[in-house]
Amino acid sequence: MTVTGNGATGAPILDHAGLRRHREGFEEDGFTVVRGLFGADEIDRLCGEFAALREAGPVPGHVQPRDSGPDADPLRAWPRVMHPHEINDMAREVLLDARLRTVLQTLLGEEVLAAQSMFYFKPPGARGQALHQDNFYLRVEPGTCVAAWVACDVIDRENGGLEVVPGTHRMELFCPELADADVSFAREYVPPPPGLETVPVDMRPGDVLFFNGSLVHGSQPNRTADRFRRSFIGHYVGRSAERIGAFYRTLSMSGARVVLPESEGAGPCGTEFAPQGPHWTRTA
């Protein structure tokens, strides 16, 4: 079995040995990065689709951009898109992509279901998302979710790349503290446990970060003046999962709806603070 890219060369990305190494890293650290899984042309088209989706105006329940003056929160004008696969064909294709499926099945050791998709624009000056655990929101039972985080720009510390806390995937869900609204758009914050530290994950367009739903992770604000940090995210669960939050409408990787009973205490990824007003101070 070989996973290939769709870029100009179509060169092999992963064979059996490569997949095994990624699974070992995933089990040890809670995450792994597959470089160049998507081609540059695919990423360009994906970003174009989301730019057009935003320009077309609000789609209730999915994306609702608002007017934003020069001193207002940039996330008002560039909000994250929730469940875009339900309103956009290319988003659905990426969520159910065979390359993602191959890696995910290797990491989980079983058939996978897609639980949700998201797209983050994260424009210059935007707040990040405080450290958190995804399964705090999805509440997959038994087991956990796995994220596939597709980089759509060069992503580093300056424009708010992800940070992860290796080893926390082996721990239980933490009770979050209240985050700092000046640097995080979401309310929940999980401090790194004693003895563990955040590790930055720099990425290039087409790289995919896979991580366990219990892994503590988050991002700082985009401190650049002119660089977006766009990303497409899919969340997945193993076919053996028995319950999940009602917000997450699971699909087989062939696209068929698979209804799972509802788990308790679930909600959308990241409980947002109220939108910042015109006197919000940018962190850039």
Structure confidence by residue, pLDDT tens digits, 130-148: 999 999 999 999 999 999 9
Long-range CB contacts for residues 65-69, cutoff 8 Å, separation at least 24: 66/275, 69/278
> What domains sit in the chain, N to C, each tagged with a CATH number?
16-252 (2.60.120.620)
Give the pLDDT confidence score for residue 269 in this predicted structure: 80
Distance CA 13, CA 18 (A): 8
Give the pLDDT confidence score for residue 2 in this predicted structure: 45
- The dihedral through the CA atoms of 212, 213, 218, 222 has a sign that is positive
Looking at the chain, which runs of residues are DSSP E strands?
A: 3-4, 12-14, 31-34, 81-82, 112-120, 145-151, 162-165, 177-178, 188-189, 199-200, 208-212, 216-219, 231-238, 251-252
3-state secondary structure of 182: coil
- Asked if omega into 142 is within 30° of 0 (cis), the reply is yes
Q: 57 Cβ partners below 8 Å, 6+ apart? A: 65
Model pTM? 0.92
Distance CA 82, CA 59 (A): 10
Give the pLDDT confidence score for residue 92 in this predicted structure: 98
Amino acid letter at 127?
R
Q: Which residues of the chain register pLDDT less than 50?
A: 1-2, 4-12, 277-284
Give the pLDDT confidence score for residue 7 in this predicted structure: 41
Amino acid letter at 239?
R
pLDDT tens-digit map of 261-276: 999 988 888 778 765 5
Give the pLDDT confidence score for residue 278 in this predicted structure: 40
3-state secondary structure of 233: strand
